[in-house]
Amino acid sequence: MTKCAFLGLGVMGYPMAGHLEAAGHEVTVYNRTEAKAQAWADGHKGGHAAAPRLAAVGAEFVMACVGNDDDLRSVCLGEDGAFAGMSEGSVFVDHTTVSAAVTRELYAAAAEKGISYVDAPISGGQAGAENGALSIMCGGDTDAYDRAEPVMNAYAKICRRIGESGAGQMTKMCNQIAIAGLVQGLSEALHFAEKAGLDGRAVVEVISQGAAGSWQMANRYETMLDDHFEHGFAVDWMRKDLGICLSTANETGASLPVTALVDQFYKDVQKLGGGRWDTSSLIKRLRALD
């Protein structure tokens, strides 16, 4: 049994921390809203702490899954940050989707304290977190990754080290870039079927078995056809992620014309009041143009 801390109990972090506990690890959680941390502790064998530093004391591994760059800095740095409570030789594992720049900044800050840092953003959505079937793409030192991988396997379907610090975040950007284009294409296909008077379910039954098939098609077409979007990964978070992708593309010289266009389409969805809708709500924008 390994002593772990988990910082951030959103729709992803809450079940992920539960999988750690179910795997036999001793888990202490922290959440900005303390009532949620208390609720998690009440339903599990682990405890909760009032600050990241307190949660991290004595932990061999500290996992975080928070909102953005600033949220991550706030749980890592300062007198009450996790780094202040972690022991030399312990490992910080960040599951947040953030910029590679803040990842490298915190990797360096951790190294000064003798702490290892692994950037390990996740993909698979709320269902993946709940089912312990996430894809985890990692960056950081090999020895730190090798130590952390068996712990992360409590909620992973696949876990891979891609390269040095920041490589995990760069890989997550590839993931989001690919998803943006896929969801827009699926939205257009279903919208076209509707306008052509076709049975959307019959269409998907056929085309999903060929080259057009994808996870998005298999898992989102029915709710898209039913105009139901109160689930899944929110548009607001997708725009945050795509903003990171586009900013990084400017730094690296990569060309992302489709990503830039879909980002603006998501902005239109936000204007429709859909900031908390699932990312598949791009089809709502097309319907609104009718």
Q: Check: CB of residue 81 under 8 Å from CB of residue 75.
A: yes
Residue 75 confidence (pLDDT): 98
What pairing do the DSSP bridges indicate for beta strands 156-163 and 122-123? Answer: unpaired
Per annotation, catalytic residue among 36, 45, 172, 195? 172
pLDDT at 160 over 90: yes
The per-residue pLDDT for range 221-265, each reduced to its tens digit, is 999 999 999 988 999 999 999 999 999 999 999 999 999 999 999
Verify that 148 and 188 share a domain, yes or no.
no
Catalytic annotation present for 172? yes
Q: What is the dihedral of CA 49, 131, 139, 170, to 10 degrees?
A: -110
Residue 181, exposed/middle/buried by CB under 10 A (0-12, 13-18, 19+)? middle
Number of domains composing the chain: 2
Domain around 27: 3-164
Q: Domain boundary residue among 132, 164, 196?
A: 164
Verify that 129 and 177 share a domain, yes or no.
no
Residue 1 confidence (pLDDT): 81
Q: What is the dihedral of CA 29, 34, 39, 43, to 10 degrees?
A: 20
Rama region for 78: left / alpha / beta (φ>0; ψ in -120 to 50; rest)? left
Residue 290 confidence (pLDDT): 79
CATH number at residue 8: 3.40.50.720
Verify that 134 and 81 share a domain, yes or no.
yes
pLDDT at 130 over 90: yes
The per-residue pLDDT for range 24-74, each reduced to its tens digit, is 999 999 999 999 999 999 999 899 999 999 999 999 999 999 999 999 999
Which of the four pLDDT bands, split at 50, 70 and 90, describes residue 18? very high
pTM, entire model: 0.93
Residue 123 confidence (pLDDT): 95
Residue 129 confidence (pLDDT): 96
Q: Check: CB of residue 172 under 8 Å from CB of residue 97.
A: yes
Residue 12 confidence (pLDDT): 96
